[in-house]
Amino acid sequence: MKTVQIIAEVRKTVSDARSGGAAVGFVPTMGALHEGHLSLIDAARSACDFVAVSIFVNPTQFAPGEDLATYPGGIEADLSACEARGADLVFVPDVETMYPRGAVTSVSVSGLSETLCGRSRPTHFAGVCTVVTKLLNIVRPDKAFFGRKDFQQLVIVTRMVEDLDIPVEIVSCPIVRHADGLAMSTRNQRLSAAVRLQAVALHAALESAVARIRQSHPPAAEVIASAREYLSTNAPDGEIDYIQIVDPQTLRDVETTDRIVLLALAVKFPGARLIDNMLVDSAGEGQ
């Protein structure tokens, strides 16, 4: 495995691999890797001949007052994990490499970025889109792998590469969960033991909502109200940021649940803001 900090070296290494006929897969991360991230590397390894991973805590997707300064790290453990899972190249740039002094260009996707997490984090997705565009231009992969836990990000990035004619396939990968259902997240490690027990209520609330939809396809407002009540009771230390039921392609709120819908929520706990979602088909089957 090769660890690289310079853009030109990334491009040469990937170009050499491609000249030998290799299909290139790419997994962008912010480090502090867990099994969710590593499952993306596994997916890339299965689908591609050459796997590149980036580890970069992107400052432009953090608003003032968010947790940029305290975002979990651990580069040596991350590099060891990447090597163990079969990554061929790990790109670990610094901020100056990704954002040279004087850089003023940003990328945004209107409409899709203003709902769900975008309501409370209005600058977040412009930061995500900008860094992902830069990384795709640097690595130039055939396929890039994103997890469905960040479903809004997945939809936005997919639309962005379509609109900008970036020649890459965005591959959607399943949410990876702990045994108790909590979606794996770098920020989970910040939860106290007591709050960690409450955090499982996110997945439980989604499962309960899916059961209600399966049973009778009630109006979305009823499902949301029930989920809100469940979280208020079972996660009392959490502040609900949002609970929404949306169209999974447009991310617009829907009123009915007799169609494919995305149930998504975000809850702020002491130490961490957690998100989760579940896609429900017309038969009420959760994914």
Please report, in tens digits, the pLDDT of each residue of the chain (287 residues total): 999 999 999 999 999 999 999 999 999 999 999 999 999 999 999 999 999 999 999 999 999 989 998 898 899 999 999 999 999 999 999 999 999 998 899 999 999 999 999 999 999 999 999 999 999 999 999 999 999 999 999 999 999 999 999 999 999 999 999 999 999 999 999 999 999 999 999 999 999 999 999 999 999 999 999 999 999 999 999 999 999 999 999 999 999 999 999 999 999 999 999 999 999 985 544 55
Q: How is domain 186-279 classified at the CATH fold level?
A: Pantoate--beta-alanine Ligase; Chain: A,domain 2 (3.30.1300)
For residue 216, report the phi and psi dihedrals to the nearest 5 degrees: -150, 5
Domain with CATH 3.40.50.620 in the chain: 2-173
The model carries a pTM of 0.96
User: 210-213 long-range CB contacts below 8 Å, 24 or more apart?
Assistant: 210/263, 210/278, 210/280, 210/284, 210/285, 210/286, 211/284, 213/257, 213/261, 213/280, 213/284
CATH code, residues 2-173: 3.40.50.620
For residue 166, report the phi and psi dihedrals to the nearest 5 degrees: -80, 125
Task: Name the active-site residue from 37, 124, 178, 217.
Answer: 37
* pLDDT at position 65: 87
Q: Which residues pair with 54 in a beta bridge?
A: 28, 91
DSSP symbol at 168: -
- Give catalytic status of residue 34 as yes or no: no
Domain with CATH 3.30.1300.10 in the chain: 186-279
Half-sphere exposure of 48 toward its Cβ, with a 13 Å CA cutoff? Answer: 30
